[in-house]
Amino acid sequence: MTIETKPALHSQQDFVDVLRHIQQSRQKIFAQINTTLIDLYWQIGQIISHKVSTEAWGKGVVTDLAVFITQQNPELKGFSDKNLWRMKQFFETYQADEKLSSLVRELPWTHNTIIFSRCKSAEEREYYLNVCIKERYTSRELERQINTSHFERAMPGNQKLSAVLRELHPNISNTLKDNHVLEFLGLPMQHKESHLQKALIRNMKKFILELGRDFIFVGEEYRLQVGNQDFFIDLLFFHRGLAALVAFELKIGKFSPEHLGQLNFYLEALDRDVKKPHENPSIGILLCRDKDEEVVEYALSRNLSPTMVAQYELQLPDKKLIQAKLHELSEIGYFESN
């Protein structure tokens, strides 16, 4: 007896397409809900702000408002007196800034409360609003970035870049940082390069969060064969935004100019043997423990490869010291000249 089988009337791709439409619609719905919610909090904050300034509303009245909302509609959550005051602060923080008031609608309320309550200036708020939207930080990840002074570390710019790298990617100062905080590695102050490499591999998700989500990890000890010899790149990534391979060479000591020679050799081998035709020239990042700024400047001034020198720290930075340094740089006109 022969059993006839019906020909398949669908492909796996059909199912994938349907699922993609569902997921895209869900994302749009969630985004609309969030925008509506942020608009509601803005309107409530505006009302309370107006009442406080014109009718002398105080904490007692706002507390009574919170009680009234709960009594009238017990299932409503998020309208405690504390949160109502946050809505007032939210409105007053952004009411005069049309640019930022549009950005806040792209982030959840929790992210917004973290930013407007912890950031001290419009520039800092704008920075974290933009980076949150771009990197899609969770609230915990956002907290860590503020704790590690992400804004302050990004402000001086990537002056430790080779001229070639600046020419290839004019806006790279918004993409790569020259200072990384790696407190999550749990390494002692005295450690070996192998310990640093293994700790970064174990904590790759957190390391990529520190670098930026466009980084895709390719491999450790990435093998390059040149002639009859094998060479190994400590860490190799691909950066989606820059469309380029990014080689990391790790140094636990102070930067030395000869380190760039080794990195330049790796980049040449990557470009000849690994890089795909549609990709940009490979980029090299020398991640070291310490550096003399003047030595770095001299070493990079005539370097013909797209490279940069970055520094890592194993402890959370002192925000007050960083802010004082930023103020000092601003006073001498550093930002205008870079």
The per-residue pLDDT for 14 is 79
Cross-strand pairs, 249: 286
pLDDT of residue 55: 86
Q: What's this model's pTM, rounded to 2 decimal places?
A: 0.75
Q: Is 301 exposed, middle or buried (0-12, 13-18, 19+ CB in 10 A)?
A: exposed
Q: What is d(CA 16, CA 283) in angstroms, rounded to the nearest whole number?
A: 36
CB-CB neighbours of 166 under 10 Å: 17
φ/ψ of 334, rounded to 5, equals -60, -45
Tens of pLDDT along the chain (338 residues)?
Answer: 555 555 555 677 878 888 888 888 887 888 889 999 999 999 999 999 999 988 888 889 999 999 999 999 989 889 999 999 999 999 999 999 989 998 999 999 999 999 999 998 899 999 999 999 988 999 999 999 999 888 887 765 545 788 899 889 887 877 888 889 999 999 999 999 999 999 999 999 999 999 988 999 999 999 999 999 999 999 999 999 999 999 999 999 999 999 999 999 999 999 999 999 999 999 999 999 999 989 999 999 888 899 999 999 998 776 666 666 666 555 545 445 44
Handedness of CA 325, 295, 304, 279 (dihedral sign): negative
